[in-house]
Structure 1
């Protein structure tokens, strides 16, 4: 890979980290903002610090290696298909990142929480198809479909169960609003830290893989990873207000109890996804579905189902759109080579 392609991939990885901050990570505190448990500026500052902390923790506990990066990003078929043309992997990474960022901006504009991971995996599928390595992705397609279904379903069911348990506890008068607001702040901190840990892995892996493809030793490339953590925190400070409004106000009218349950459910599923299931369960999917579940536990009329249906439509479209965009871009590049 040429130096120009390396620079392009690294810069786009930084931009992806920044967009992840305002697109995904700021939504971690959307419920605390909507329930007025924290002021918006306080919540965003807290989320930015904790996202930075989570991303830095990720640098210490994630096995930063080329093998890990290839496996995480699912780029084995692309690397095998482009072995004779080293620059092709760099071009593929650039196109995949551009498609992912384009979808991030579109979904942000419409105020829809969506998965950066699913967008990137869809883009990787498109690049693989253009290179004739589609068959190797068939198991991944099944895994992606399972994650799209499993994450929201588990989030909704666990949130319903948790909300009903909390309502039963509330009837004993042992749980008061002040307790719930404090608990919601703690749970929001856990979600924000989990976001930083989970969402930093994608740009980390991209930088590691690009540096290796360009011939730079991994030990000399690690200094590029710390700015990624800073970029996620900076993006979080931007707020992502459109998505915050959707999760915190448009899906259902949240109270502190609902916000606490939704955030606890999301934090639990993120932890399971990272260290347990090893499947691409989206934090955005689980948080939004947990909010729906918290509203549905009180009564179906408390959920705005048309908004929820629109969000699900975007979730289904995410890997399809990025797959098509990247495949078209790769076809153009291959035709020009």
Structure 2
């Protein structure tokens, strides 16, 4: 049996030589980031699929507070039975350099027991950042990518009905101040910590601009001097993002997903000569009903019992020699020769790592 398809795909993708990548693909600029926003709101206009207010008292409390702000005073002690309202959490990401008046997408998620948000409308909801300041206001009709119906105890549902989106449903009210490059320098942050790649980025920047304006602070951060003018700074950073750099070969690593049996390894994995013995053990349990029927007119009762048969099968393992492999294709070929299932391969790889024959870091997720 072959190793999982993910392992074979990794072998094909990693077979070629290292290629150059743009700096914008392997690094980000410090300070240029998104900010998470969240808010609590109400979705109205549902077709009887809203929260059951007896089990979600916060929904009725929110409706009462909203009506009071609109000048509607409810009699004390009233028990509202609402079916078309749902309490929701509204989340969004504020992109870098977003300005007031810009629209951003929002995600609306039910926090009560609403059956569906389909067809609902989000009432004006303030979205706050981690500093409790309002950065956007969200409102609009939801788009729910699902459908469902139920009757007489039967239910059919396609996709998820408790979450919807509103494209450009929030309007930015406050921008996040950014001091990018105003101090005369910016920091490039590599997405993967690597001293060799950091050194190559420094060399590429300095070679392109003909001066020593870049220097590596560590294996992840590269400091680059920038022009003082805003227009010149934007053009300068755009030129840096477009520079090509050949990243260093990644550290040899094998990723094992113990839940699915998937195994992925990069091209730096090497295998020393080793011997592996692999066998399989299976337990088969077969249970059949045995019915004892009494004779006619004997006033006996029919008795049903079960009879189980248990069988254990074990295939003898063979000691196989795995030759030393310096390329990923050879490693895959050697592991395929064992004939192990993906689940068995997990134990074999761990044993190879423990013996020192597998030249790679083993990570189980």
Q: TM-score, normalised by structure 2?
A: 0.17
Query: Rg bigger for which structure?
Result: 2
Higher strand proportion:
2
Return the structure number with greater helix share: 1
Give the structure-1-normalised TM-score: 0.18
Bigger relative CO (Cα 8 Å, ≥ 6 apart): 1
